[in-house]
């Protein structure tokens, strides 16, 4: 079994919130979604999908069969597509978008960086900064909250705090 090192980071958030982790090539995209939820710190309360394509055309979708996709999108069931079948003979790195919570529109870039042939394991390697709270209004609402313009922000939330050892995969 081979493993791949992946990096994920949030768009439109500065300073950057990111994670680097490894998963097996036998991992389905449904399982990859579960791993992303854990490493990022999301609560898996919203819809999601993976998008990829050539150039600016991200019409290839890997997602849950209950999700709606736009006409013309090429849809694949996330429970059936493994990393190995997706990567095939493509050259690394490979970039995809991972969208979570279509209302708040959290867009992540997911990069399949490299193949690890020996000694691989499912693990979180490194990362920086805490994930934004669920339902905080997306990148705009998060920036407003960090700027002190949101009364709902939890006093215990520390945007700089991230502990790799606290994440259980």
Domain ranges of the chain: 3-166
What is the rounded distance in angstroms from the CA atom of residue 116 to the CA atom of residue 114? 6
Two tokens, residue 78: 């996330």
Tens-level pLDDT at each residue, the chain (169 residues):
889 999 999 999 999 999 999 999 999 999 999 999 999 999 999 999 999 987 667 778 888 876 666 666 788 899 999 999 999 999 999 999 999 998 999 999 999 999 987 767 899 999 999 999 888 889 998 888 887 766 666 677 888 999 999 999 8
Helix (H, G, I), strand (E, B) or coil at 165: helix
pTM above threshold 0.75 = yes
Specify the DSSP class assigned to residue 18.
Answer: E
Specify the DSSP class assigned to residue 1.
Answer: -
Nearest by Cα to 124 from 29, 2, 6: 6
What is the rounded distance in angstroms from the CA atom of residue 126 to the CA atom of residue 123? 9
CATH class belonging to 3-166: alpha beta
């Amino acid at each position: 079994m081979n493993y791949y090192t992946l990096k994920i980071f949030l768009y439109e958030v500065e300073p950057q919130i990111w994670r680097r982790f490894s998963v097996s090539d036998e991992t389905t995209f449904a399982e990859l979604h579960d791993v992303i939820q854990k490493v990022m710190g999301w609560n898996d309360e919203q819809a999601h999908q993976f998008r990829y394509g050539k150039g600016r055309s991200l019409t290839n979708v890997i997602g849950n069969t209950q999700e709606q996709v736009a006409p013309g999108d090429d849809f694949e069931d996330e429970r059936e597509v493994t990393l190995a079948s997706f990567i095939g003979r493509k050259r690394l790195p490979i970039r995809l978008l991972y969208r979570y919570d279509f209302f708040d529109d959290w867009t992540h870039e997911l990069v399949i960086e490299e193949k690890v042939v020996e000694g691989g394991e499912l693990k979180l390697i490194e990362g920086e900064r805490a994930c934004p709270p669920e339902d905080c209004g997306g990148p705009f609402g998060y920036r407003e909250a960090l700027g002190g313009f949101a009364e709902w922000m939890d006093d215990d939330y520390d945007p700089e705090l991230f502990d790799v050892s606290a994440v259980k995969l």
